Amino acid sequence: MRAPNAAPLLAVDNLSVDFGEGSPKALSGVSFELRRDEVLGIVGETGAGKSVLARSLLDLLPEGGRIVEGDIRLDGASVLGLSETEQGKLRGARIALIGTNAKALLDPVATVGAQIARVLRAHRACGRREAWAAAVDLLAQVGIVNPERRAKAYPHELSGGMAQRVVIAMAMVANPDIVLADDATLGLDATIQVQVLDLLVKRCRELGAGVVLITHDLGIIAHYCDRVAIMKGGRIFELGEVGRFLEGPRDDYSRTLLDAARVRPTPMAGQGEGGGVTDEAHAKPLLDVRRLEKFFPIAGSTEVVRAIDDVSFSVGRGETLALVGESGSGKTTVGQCLVRLLECDGGGITFDGVDITDMPAKEFRPLRRRLQMVFQEPYVALNPRWPVRALIAEPLRLDPGLDAKGREHRVRQLLDLVHLPLSLAEAYPHELTAGEQKRIGIARALATGPDFVVFDEPTTALDIRVRAQIIDLVRDLQAEIGMSALFITHDLNSVRSLAHNVAVMRHGKIVEYGETEAIFAHPTQDYTRMLLSAELPIEQGLLQRDRAEARRLAGTA
Amino acid sequence: MRATFTRYLSRHPGAVIGLVLLGLQVIAILFAPWLTSYSPVEADPLASLEPPSLAHWFGTDVSGMDIYARVIYATRINLLISLTAVAVAFVIGVPVGLLIGFYRGGLSSLVMRVFDFIQSFPIFVLGMALVSVMGQEIWNVSIVLAVLFIPMFARVIRAEVLSLRERPFVAAARCSGATDFSIMFRHILPNALTPAIVQISISVGLAILLTAGLSFVGAGVRMPTPEWGLMVSSGAQQMILGVWWVSLFPGLAIVIAVLSFALIGDMAKDLSDPTTRDRR
């Protein structure tokens, strides 16, 4: 039935992995095949075993992990019995891994050109100069502008997107048969993500390599993959053509996942009465920012980076403003100035009629009760030595009316508010999932019942379902306690259901500012339009559909 | 907490060895008079340089003193000197390091330059100078060592604080209304302490070796006070004549003491950090 050229390039057969005797299995009975010139997507939430799967294919399981059952065959030959040296030859040469956070994957003390050349020389005999020229060539192929100069750059001098391109170039050095991309674009701006994935898939198609794309974004699956596998708890729940999966998943869990991803943010309800609030709010806004400026000096130069350049906006009571922009646009700096983590260099901030721009820290401290912030990266913003209970109780010290018992009670209330079980009170941050950590961050910010909260990227790097839950949670809280909020995000689409107003930021300036629906309906700036189009819709593109059709025909012929 | 500790011990045999070795030293300190019938300071010229035998388990030294008795009694003096020195250095050095790491300014730089001065000064010259001023007492040896160790503790803590103070959780704590004091002592210090704890075990070992060195140049304890380093150096002259026991046994005692503190230091480091506490 199957054409001979469709013999599987990689066959995983009933693979099970665990971490030591008696521990629950990280993978149980996973089977799939990957053919040449095929992109297989693997989707699942955090902890579904996606990364363990990718690592077991390379025999790079974290300490304690071992394959207890099953087989991995490459072109029909099992790879499990191979010696360490033979495995080493396999890695990079035939199977290449592209991981998350490219910057961390690169050696910080070597130039990227030297690193690529090193990989080249490991795989084929060539001279130093030749390898360097080839490295520059590769950088050009992955679309890096001015490759000769960039080859001499160190990883910290590159942006996240550029670093990811370098890692892709390295992975492609030895023309591998199989490329494993493990959440390769996590944490990149949506616009960059599309560019990087386009490049990756295009390069693999040129080489005829098989690709395993591991992600939690169904938009990526719909856009780039031929087949998709849905994973949960170490099992594959569904495996099939992407087109058929998008039409109607057979499995209940896959359906929940797809539905959660498909939920389009509903426009803010009751814009009419909201308009009334806005008028009133504009009369006396809770927070008013006038011509804010913040400069950072550039080392070894008299020039400065204008991180915030003449930014003005205001937020009324019960109102939400979304501050949208790509990384480096200065939006996080604005948030940090508002809560006085940074001193601004010009302009003014008025909170509830009080000018807080240059207020001494001691006088400002009581105001912190009313002005809170949820930090971007949930893990690093929590003290690793503190249990959850202490972390949530910390801001409660700002409330002099609460004794130890009252605080204890409030901690329990707050855990409940962010839908976390009380049993987590004694857990430490490293024992929590990213979603739980994020909720702890939110609970901390809400502990004192603030009037104004800055949410810095509240939904990035979270699973689809968790993201939806967090947005729901914030919206409910706003309805319940009527706080105002500033939402800082790079994903314009995610704020549609939350924000009354949107300010689009670029290079430290607000380029577009207005009511959310107006901006969604008629964006006036090209930049805004680009941000709006960056998110991948969960439907197959024309090109993908044609490919699927061609494959179907080839299969039946 | 107790369950965690027991589980930790069952997975880390090194920690058990460390505790056992420490236990041996505690026994030597508490029960020295019952462990030997000899006096550690009584010379017997007739029994000079006798090899290990049933009468003298570890042999005798050049003045005929029983080495076993001296090794046992020396535990008291050696641990007294090193532990007080390290404890004083820890109690002073850690807060100083925290402060100069957190508040960076003219005063902090000045303190750092003073540390540079102390650490660049030859320790034996410093030791002899202090001892000649204050008198040749055990306590003075402790003080000399403490002065030398304070900059070490302050430096490791400062280095940690410098990176920790920029971490987002510190900013988050500030947003939650934490005061400077609370940020320093409740947020940064617990995270900065691990290298200082490791430094304790290194310093105890170093203290024993330096005590020996100071005794050797005559700025430390004097004969016939039983002290391991002094015993090793006094036996060094006979070593080439094949008289190995005079130096070997106090040397082994030093090894045991240093090793036990190194192993316990590792254990304390793991247990103080919730992210490694339960890892095997």
Q: A27 φ, ψ to 5°?
A: -135, 135
Geometric angle at alpha carbon A329, from A327 and A333, rounded to 5°: 95
> Comparing A28-42, A271-285, A303-317, which segment has the lowest mean pLDDT?
A271-285
Handedness of CA B85, B86, B87, B89 (dihedral sign): positive
Per-residue pLDDT averaged across A51-79, rounded?
A: 81
Chain A positions in Cβ-Cβ contact with residue B273 (cut-off 8 Å)? 385
Q: What is the pLDDT of residues A239-249, one digit of tens each?
A: 888 888 888 88
Q: How far is A375 from chain B (nearest CA, A)?
A: 7
What pLDDT does B273 receive? Answer: 77
Q: Are residues A194 and A253 in the same domain?
A: yes
Distances (CA, A) of B176 to A143, B172, B192: 44, 6, 21
Per-residue pLDDT averaged across B190-210, rounded?
A: 85
Portion 115-144 of A in contact with B at CB < 8 A: none
Is residue A545 pLDDT above 60, yes or no? yes
What pLDDT does B90 receive? Answer: 94
What pLDDT does A268 receive? Answer: 55
For residue A534, tell me if it sits in a domain: no
Geometric angle at alpha carbon B230, from B228 and B234, rounded to 5°: 120
Q: Are residues A294 and A159 in the same domain?
A: no
Q: How far is Cα of residue A460 from the mean position of the Cα atoms in its chain?
A: 5
What pLDDT does B278 receive? Answer: 59
Per-residue pLDDT averaged across A307-314, rounded?
A: 89
Per-residue pLDDT averaged across B88-99, rounded?
A: 94
Is residue B116 pLDDT above 70, yes or no? yes
What pLDDT does B98 receive? Answer: 93
Q: Are residues A90 and A169 in the same domain?
A: yes
What pLDDT does A270 receive? Answer: 45
Domain boundary (A153, A188, A216) is at A153
Peptide linkage before B224 cis (omega within 30 of 0): yes
In three-state form (DSSP H/G/I as H, E/B as E, the rest C), the secondary structure along B239-273 is HCCCCCHHHHHHHHHHHHHHHHHHHHHHHHHHHHC
Q: Are residues A99 and A125 in the same domain?
A: no
CATH number of the domain where residue A32 is located: 3.40.50.300
Give yes or no for a contact between A490 and A327, defined as CB atoms under 8 angstroms apart: yes
Is residue A272 pLDDT above 70, yes or no? no
Domain boundary (A123, A153, A183) is at A153
Q: Give burial (CB, 10 Å; 0-12/13-18/19+) of B241.
A: exposed
Quote the mean pLDDT of chain B.
Answer: 85
- Band of the pLDDT at A554, cuts 50, 70, 90? low
H or E element that contains A411: helix A404-417
Q: Are residues A67 and A180 in the same domain?
A: yes
For residue A17, tell me if it sits in a domain: yes
Q: How far is Cα of residue A158 from the mean position of the Cα atoms in its chain?
A: 18
What DSSP string runs through A1-14?
A: ---GGG--SEEEEE
What pLDDT does A277 receive? Answer: 46
Q: Which domain holds residue A125?
A: 110-153
Per-residue pLDDT averaged across B148-156, rounded?
A: 92
Nearest CB to B191; choose among A365, A384, A441: A384
For residue B5, tell me if it sits in a domain: no
Portion 31-70 of A in contact with B at CB < 8 A: 64
Q: What is the pLDDT of residues A376-391, one digit of tens each?
A: 877 788 998 899 999 9
In total, how many domains does chain A have? Answer: 4
Nearest CB to B177; choose among A397, A428, A430: A397
Is residue B188 pLDDT above 50, yes or no? yes
Q: What is the pLDDT of residues A496-539, one digit of tens each?
A: 777 889 999 988 899 999 888 888 888 888 888 888 877 777 77
Chain B positions in Cβ-Cβ contact with residue A375 (cut-off 8 Å)? 168, 171-172
Distances (CA, A) of B268 to A444, A528, B25, B79, B196: 31, 54, 19, 19, 11
Q: B40 φ, ψ to 5°?
A: -75, -10
Is residue A279 pLDDT above 60, yes or no? no
For residue B278, tell me if it sits in a domain: no
Residues 6+ apart with CB under 8 A from B20: none
For residue B3, tell me if it sits in a domain: no
Q: How far is B173 from chain A (nearest CA, A)?
A: 8
Nearest CB to B176; choose among A64, A336, A444: A444
What pLDDT does B280 receive? Answer: 43
Q: A309 φ, ψ to 5°?
A: -130, 95
Per-residue pLDDT averaged across B152-168, rounded?
A: 91
What DSSP string runs through B86-137?
A: HHHHHHHHHHHHHHHHHS-SHHHHHHHHHHHHHHHS-HHHHHHHHHHHH-S-
Q: Are residues A189 and A326 in the same domain?
A: no
Strands A235-241 vs A95-98: parallel, antiparallel or unpaired:
unpaired
Distances (CA, A) of B132 to B144, B146, B197: 12, 17, 32
For residue A416, tell me if it sits in a domain: yes
Is residue A283 pLDDT above 70, yes or no? no
Q: Which domain holds residue B132?
A: 10-41+56-272
Quote the mean pLDDT of chain A.
Answer: 82
A341 close contact with B: CB closer than 8 A: yes
Q: A518 φ, ψ to 5°?
A: -65, -40
Strands A227-232 vs A235-241: parallel, antiparallel or unpaired:
antiparallel
Per-residue pLDDT averaged across A471-488, rounded?
A: 80
Is residue A461 pLDDT above 70, yes or no? no
What pLDDT does A281 receive? Answer: 46
Q: Are residues A145 and A173 in the same domain?
A: no
What pLDDT does A44 receive? Answer: 82
Indicate yes or no: pTM above 0.90. no
Chain A positions in Cβ-Cβ contact with residue B177 (cut-off 8 Å)? 365, 368-369, 394-395, 397-398
Q: Is A385 within 8 Å of B168 when comparing Cβ atoms?
A: no
Q: Are residues A139 and A168 in the same domain?
A: no
Q: Are residues A40 and A172 in the same domain?
A: yes
For residue A257, tell me if it sits in a domain: yes
What pLDDT does B277 receive? Answer: 67
What pLDDT does B199 receive? Answer: 87
| Percent of chain A residues topping a pLDDT of 70 | 92
C-alpha–C-alpha distance, residues B235 and B219, integer Å: 18
Q: What is the pLDDT of residues B39-69, one digit of tens each?
A: 787 777 787 777 788 777 887 887 778 888 8
Is residue B135 pLDDT above 80, yes or no? no
For residue B175, tell me if it sits in a domain: yes
What pLDDT does A313 receive? Answer: 92
CATH number of the domain where residue B148 is located: 1.10.3720.10
Among left, alpha and beta (phi > 0; psi -120 to 50; other), residue B49 is: left
A280 close contact with B: CB closer than 8 A: no
How many residues are there in chain B? 280
Interface test mutation site (partner A, options B175, B184, B189, B277, max chain A beta carbons within 10 A): B175
Q: A507 φ, ψ to 5°?
A: 50, 45
3-state class (DSSP) for residue A307: strand
In total, how many domains does chain B have? Answer: 1
Q: Which of A120-129, B62-71, B148-157, B211-220 has the highest mean pLDDT?
A: B148-157
Task: Name the residue with tokens 């039935």.
Answer: A1
Of A533, A502, A498, nearest in space to A516 by CA: A502
Domain boundary (A411, A428, A449) is at A449
Q: Are residues A37 and A102 in the same domain?
A: yes
Q: Which amino acid is at A448?
A: T
For residue A533, tell me if it sits in a domain: no
Distances (CA, A) of A244 to A248, A250, A541, B162: 6, 9, 14, 55
For residue A532, tell me if it sits in a domain: no
Q: Is B175 within 8 Å of A339 when comparing Cβ atoms?
A: yes
A365 close contact with B: CB closer than 8 A: yes
C-alpha–C-alpha distance, residues A445 and A427, integer Å: 19
What pLDDT does A493 receive? Answer: 67
Q: Are residues A81 and A98 in the same domain?
A: yes
Q: Bigger pLDDT: B275 or B228?
A: B228
Q: Which of A5-9, A316-320, A485-489, B127-131 has the highest mean pLDDT?
A: A485-489
For residue B1, tell me if it sits in a domain: no
Q: How far is A368 from chain B (nearest CA, A)?
A: 6
Q: Are residues A56 and A78 in the same domain?
A: yes
For residue B146, tell me if it sits in a domain: yes
What pLDDT does A125 receive? Answer: 79
C-alpha–C-alpha distance, residues A382 and B246, integer Å: 56
For residue B189, tell me if it sits in a domain: yes
Q: Which amino acid is at A477?
A: L
* Tokens encoding A347: 């302009």
From first CA to last CA, the distance across chain B in angstroms is 16
C-alpha–C-alpha distance, residues A520 and A111, integer Å: 43
Q: What is the pLDDT of residues A85-142, one digit of tens each?
A: 887 777 777 888 888 777 778 888 888 888 888 888 887 778 888 889 888 988 888 8
